[in-house]
Amino acid sequence: MLKYRAMIEEIGPQVPEFLPHGILIFFGPQAPAELREVSLVHTGATLQGAIEVGDWLCFREPPGEGSETGRVLSYRVTAVGEVASANLAELGHLVVHFDGALEAALPGTISVAPALLHLPPVGTILELLRLEDCHDL
């Protein structure tokens, strides 16, 4: 079941500073300028169901030079803060910790595993899925 799909349209200039800490901050297009600096701004859709432990966060990267398809990177949701789903539904806002923690660090965050190795580029499709394998969607 697809719960959410959005496209990353803008990457704030300070976003790479969070990469070594394994944190990405997502915001919808209404994000004010000061939040855009630290966020991956995306066009979003309606959240179709609450984010739950066991869901998948997938990044479908755009095709590169000489390639017909881009990479698909999958991360298993290991913890969900109590307001993470509401924040995503209302603001397009989601903070993701790529630490595999079993408890969310803050009420508006989720944790996923494995670790984040690189920043998803502009044009990447972000998906939240309730499937055993997001590659088959």
Q: What is the DSSP string of 82-136?
A: TTHHHHHHHHS-EEEETT--SS-SSTTEEEEES---SPPPTTPEEEEE-SS-GGG
Indicate whether 23 belongs to any domain. Answer: yes
The verdict on residue 39 lying in a domain is yes
Q: Which domain holds residue 52?
A: 2-132
Residue 137 lies in a domain: no
Active site residues: 42
Mean pLDDT, rounded, for 75-102: 97
Helix (H, G, I), strand (E, B) or coil at 34: helix
pLDDT digits (tens, 9 = 90+) for 15-41: 999 999 999 999 999 999 999 999 999
pLDDT digits (tens, 9 = 90+) for 44-54: 778 999 999 99
Q: What is the CATH number of the domain that holds 121?
A: 2.40.33.40
What are 74-87's pLDDT values in tens digits? 999 999 999 999 99
Residue 64 lies in a domain: yes
Model-level pTM greater than 0.85?
yes
Q: How many domains does the chain have?
A: 1
